[in-house]
Structure 1
Amino acid sequence: MINLPLKLEYILPPLCLVILSSSFATFNLNEYLEFNRELVANGEFWRIFTSQFVHANWPHLGLNCAGILLIWALHAEHTSPARYAFNIAILALWCGLGVWLFCPDIQIYTGLSALLHGVIIWGAVKDVQAGMFSGWLLFAGTWAKVIWEQIAGPSESVSQLIASNVAIDAHFIGAVGGTLLALPIFIKIIKNRE
Structure 2
Amino acid sequence: MLHTSDATNPLRKCSTTCIIAIIFTVLLPLLQFFHDSLLYYRHPIVDGEYWRLWSGSLVHTNHWHLLLNVAGLWLLTFIAPLPFRVHTQLLQIGCLATCVGAGLWWLNPEVIWYAGFSGVLYGLFMLGGLYRLQQRDWLTAAIILLGICGKTGWDWWLGTESATASLIEAPVIYAAHIYGMAGGLLLGILTHWQSNTKP
TM-score band w.r.t. shorter chain = 0.7 to 0.9
Consecutive unaligned residues in structure 2, runs of 5 or more: 1-9
State the 1:54 CA deviation.
0.5
Which residue, out of 125, 128, 134, partners 1:129?
134
Determine whether 1:163 maps to 2:166: no
Amino acid aligned to 1:9: T
Which segment drifts farther, 3-12 or 36-45?
A: 3-12
Who is 2:18 aligned against?
Answer: 11
* Per-residue deviation, residues 150-175 of structure 1 (Å, max 9, x unmatched): 34435522111111111111111111
TM-score (norm 2): 0.84
Determine whether 1:113 maps to 2:151: no
Consecutive unaligned residues in structure 1, runs of 5 or more: none
Who is 1:104 aligned against?
Answer: 109
CA distance in 2, matches of 1:66, 1:35: 22
TM-score (norm 1): 0.86
RMSD after superposition = 2.5
State the 1:141 CA deviation.
2.9
Which segment drifts farther, 52-61 or 72-81?
A: 72-81
* 2:89 match: secondary structure: helix
Who is 1:24 aligned against?
Answer: 31
CA distance in 2, matches of 1:76, 1:66: 14
Aligned residues of 1:5 and 1:11 also touching (Cα < 8 A): no
Which residue, out of 53, 65, 73, partners 2:70?
65
Q: CA 1:155/1:86 → structure 2, altered by over 3 Å: closer, same or farther?
A: farther
* Per-residue deviation, residues 62-99 of structure 1 (Å, max 9, x unmatched): 01011111111122252221221121110011111111
* 2:87 match: secondary structure: helix
> 1 or 2 for the larger relative contact order (CA 8 Å, sep ≥6)?
2
CA distance in 2, matches of 1:148, 1:160: 15
State the 1:24 CA deviation.
1.0
Determine whether 1:173 maps to 2:179: yes
| Percent identity (aligned) | 25
Which residue, out of 144, 151, 168, partners 2:150?
144
